[in-house]
Amino acid sequence: MAFQQRRRVQFSETDAAGIVHFANYFRYFEDAEHALWREAGLSIHPAQSAIGWPRVSASCDYHRALRFEQEFDVSVQIREISRRTITYEGTIASHGEHVATATWKIACVTKLPDGTMKSADVPHEIAKRLKPL
């Protein structure tokens, strides 16, 4: 499954030089990830859910800078769903040029009464709707 959205750099996302701060790229990818779930008729964080999806790894390679008011496209696709994790690939591009590429992995966990988390299997209904490309 894949999802793409167009965005525009907001002033609050930039540093003093008008360049997007590196941490905001992860926000762009995460927003697109959640939109991908909505496209599949799901929510990554439904109310009263017994499971959660913490990030267990993330990496991003930056190829070009994004600047204030620049339009760009964020693409996210599911690379793999294992028994307990989902791995994504993402790309940010502007005017046909790659700006950033990323991979990240989320784990399915159950929330225990004491506030800790325990690894859990990805529910079948979620895996069925979020098929890797």
Which residues are known to be catalytic? Answer: 15
Q: Is 69 left (phi over 0), alpha (psi -120 to 50) or beta?
A: left
Give buried/exposed letters for 22-51 (b at 16+ CB in 10 A, else e): eebbbebbbebbbebbeebeeebeeeeeeb
